Amino acid sequence: MYSNLYTFFANRFPTNTAKAVIETSDGQSYTYAELDQYSARLAGRFRRLGLEPGDRVAVSVENSPHALFVYLGCLRAGLVYLPLNTAYQRRELEYFIADAEPRAIICRPQAAATVRELAPAALVETLDERGEGSLTEACQRLPAEFTPVDRAPDDTATILYTSGTTGRPKGVMLSSRNLAANALALTQAWGMNEADVLLHTLPLFHAHGLFIATHCMLLGAATMRMVPRFEVAAVLELLPRSTVFMGVPTLYRRLLGAPELSRALCRNMRLFTCGSAPLTVETFNQFEHRTGHFILERYGMTETLITTSNPLDGPRVAGSVGLALPGVSLRVAGEDGRPVPTGVPAEVQVKGESVFRGYWKQPEKTEQDFTDDGFFKTGDIGRLDAHGYLFLVGRAKDLIISGGYNVYPKEIELVINSIEGVVESAVFGVPHPDFGEAVVAAVVPDDAGRCPKAFEIIERLRTQVANYKVPKRVLFVDALPRNVMGKVQKDFLSQHYSQLFSER
């Protein structure tokens, strides 16, 4: 048993510590030995700042090798890592800081003034995409050795915020045991090894980019080619020198739009995985036709990490998110909590070592989301076939997944409804050829003509919420459709406007 999550990873680092762990698109390279040294200095810096094991460290920085080193430094020091999307606006940051009460915040230099204003009691350090800032400057002369702090496997290692149907984001507490168990299961299931080169384009503030892709790379002692953000040209250039790519459906659709994508370009690739949003059968089939590779689709959520995956060696079924991973108990159950017959849709429920400890400061919500026998109620609707493959047929009420990011309408509606001249609004998702789903808002204006124009509402939202949450269209309607109980019928809106972004 490990005494620290960093130790769990470090015990599996290659014996040749001069092997590259990260290679960047601008030609920089970092070895496993340097990863160990950088993370040790950062852990030492956190200790000198007076941070104690269990203290929360909020991190809102761009992708870079040093962003990963900060995460590992937090683990070594026994701190709770709190990643925040760099797209969050002041209003959003204010909520996260007030709720999580971080002792320290690491942010981009241009955000430092705002962060200090929002969190006057917190220690604030800066880090930019080049790895420069007050944090790295303070670490330069510190020792490159640091004994990892002992932590119990069930101690919280990280908190990730996920949106809720009430519009109030919830902090998901993930323990060292959760993260280690899932990383080990995925590394074995996907065959990650020292010969692999992971082409990494996902954000490190997201569970997919950090806890799935990066953890698999570390446990497999592989190399990561880090691209700051997804760009088709950059990915096409690096594919011939890579073996593994992990993405969301939007990224695969964009790659399919490039005529250069071919079997020859993917000749050295071993594995393509997809998650964070449903992959269409059409995209699955088109990608196999163009590249000769079947995308391996899997399923999970922030609260559970990855729970199912199509097999590495075995049938990868189009439209299915695969089989339960080792160590995961999965059932499709009715409202009475009893499993339903094969092929019958019902709620997906899971239990296992990767399932989270609970919601930060919300014990009542935690209790509501678990069954009496310990299964987490995902809210997603699925069915199992005779071979145990899971097919998702619906999902948590109102959830929109746009470009792999979760958007809950209530949060956006609260902002729109606060605008003078807006009587009420309904936010819903419709099919989009690139993002999978697009966020759309139906707005009822008042009779006095005070309601802003559509583009003005969109511009107002851009200052209040992350860009991926901003509606791509704002539609004005006389009234919102309601059922006999007065509840807004968002299913009707989604269906009525389903062709809004259809390709012509």
Domain for residue 291, yes or no? no
CATH number at residue 454: 3.30.300.30
Burial class, 65, CB count within 10 angstroms (exposed 0-12 / middle 13-18 / buried 19+): buried
- With a CB cutoff of 8 Å and minimum separation 6, the contacts of 431 are 437, 438, 498, 501, 502
What pLDDT was estimated at residue 381?
A: 87
Q: Is 311 helix (H, G, I), strand (E, B) or coil?
A: coil
Domain for residue 118, yes or no? yes
Of 325, 343, 341, 324, nearest in space to 385 by CA: 343
Domain for residue 369, yes or no? no
Pairing of strands 123-126, 422-432: unpaired
Work out how many domains the chain is built from and give that number.
Answer: 2
Q: Are 45 and 100 contacting, i.e. CB atoms less than 8 angstroms apart?
A: no
Q: Which domain holds residue 111?
A: 1-10+26-151
Q: Please state, as a whole number, how many other Cβ atoms lie within 10 Å of the Cβ of residue 14.
A: 15
CATH number at residue 116: 3.40.50.980
- With a CB cutoff of 8 Å and minimum separation 6, the contacts of 94 are 118
Domain boundary among the residues 134, 151, 168 is at 151
Domain boundary among the residues 132, 151, 170 is at 151
Tell me how far apart the alpha carbons of residues 144 and 44 are, in angstroms, rounded to a whole number: 9
Domain for residue 156, yes or no? no
Q: Please state, as a whole number, how many other Cβ atoms lie within 10 Å of the Cβ of residue 384.
A: 24
Domain for residue 351, yes or no? no
Q: Are 74 and 80 contacting, i.e. CB atoms less than 8 angstroms apart?
A: yes
Q: What is the pLDDT of residues 87-136, one digit of tens each?
A: 999 999 999 999 999 999 999 999 999 999 999 999 999 999 999 999 99
What pLDDT was estimated at residue 396?
A: 60
Question: Which residues of the chain, if any, have pLDDT below 70?
Answer: 1, 163-167, 395-397, 484-486, 503-504
| One-letter identity of residue 385 | D
What pLDDT was estimated at residue 488?
A: 85
What pLDDT was estimated at residue 167?
A: 58
Domain boundary among the residues 122, 151, 180 is at 151
What pLDDT was estimated at residue 503?
A: 61
Of 298, 296, 294, nearest in space to 309 by CA: 298
What pLDDT was estimated at residue 224?
A: 98
What is the pTM for the complete model shown?
0.89
Domain for residue 453, yes or no? yes
Domain for residue 384, yes or no? no
Domain for residue 89, yes or no? yes
For helices 32-48 and 65-76, angle between their N-to-C axes, nearest 10 degrees: 60
Cα dihedral sign, 261-264-268-270:
positive
Considering just the CA atoms, what is the radius of gyration of the chain in Å? 23
